[in-house]
Amino acid sequence: MTASHAPLVKRLLLIVAGAFAFGFALVPLYDVFCEATGFNGKTSGQAAAVPAVIRDGFGVGGLTAGTAVAAPAPSAIDRSRTVAVEFTGTVMPGLPWEMRPLTVSLDTHPGAMQQVRYLVRNTSSRTITGQAVPSVTPGQAAQHFDKIECFCFSQQTLAPGESREMPLTFIVKPDIDSDIRHITLSYAFFSIDGQRNTLTSAPTAKPEAKQ
């Protein structure tokens, strides 16, 4: 390589490194953008620090240890109608996992708290960390789908061959439009390790040779 080509090569390497850095930050950026705009049916929610609730012999509260949620007051539940909720999931390329909802669909009264679980399995021979990103369709239902606790709130790490049931506790808010009778909640699992490894392996630009 001649000295005249060194500045061009340096700029190209910086562009490549920047592209890898953008890919690494894509999931959290998507998270922040969708939380702010509601784009693509991105849902929001957080764990509530309230008295524990026991349902069917176990505590409702998801993956966060010591965290529980309160059942809604009976007056807050609209028993005059039901909304069908369907659950789907997909694993993005580069993540050797399998996932499926243990409950494919259910009917719920707006305002009633529900809990379902996804079964996720690491099919590889190495420990891997993934991040789930949820979306809701139709998009106008997203602001009325309240996740009380969700495995998508934090990264999930699975050992080689490990399977884990990951719970989701949610409420379809009573103020949801009466024309919305069916909601689909979808999860896409991304590989955090794959993004991290790609970023750290990105080529770095060498100092330009002095002429």
pLDDT digits (tens, 9 = 90+) for 92-114: 999 999 999 999 999 999 999 99
Report if residue 179 sits inside a domain: yes
Q: How many domains does the chain have?
A: 1
Q: What is the pLDDT of residues 135-194, one digit of tens each?
A: 999 999 999 999 999 999 999 999 999 999 999 999 999 999 999 999 999 999 999 975
Q: In what order do the strands lie in the sheet with 128-137?
A: 105-108, 83-91, 182-191, 128-137, 156-158
* pLDDT score for 39: 43
**Confidence at residue 76, expressed as pLDDT on a 0 to 100 scale:** 86
DSSP symbol at 95: -
pLDDT of residue 193: 75
67 is a domain residue = yes
Mean pLDDT for 61-83 is 64
Share of the chain above pLDDT 70, in %: 56
Tokens 């708290």 correspond to what residue? 113
> How many angstroms separate the CA atoms of 42 and 30, rounded?
9
DSSP 8-state secondary structure symbol assigned to residue 14:
H
Q: Is 208 a member of any domain?
A: no
Domain range for 103 is: 3-200
Structural domain includes residue 209: no
210 within some domain? no
The verdict on residue 206 lying in a domain is no
Residue 156 domain-assigned?
A: yes
In a domain, 144, yes or no: yes
Please report, for the domain that includes residue 161, its CATH number.
Answer: 2.60.370.10
Say which residue, 190 or 38, is predicted with more confidence.
Answer: 190
Please tell me the pTM assigned to this model: 0.63
* Mean pLDDT, the chain, integer: 75
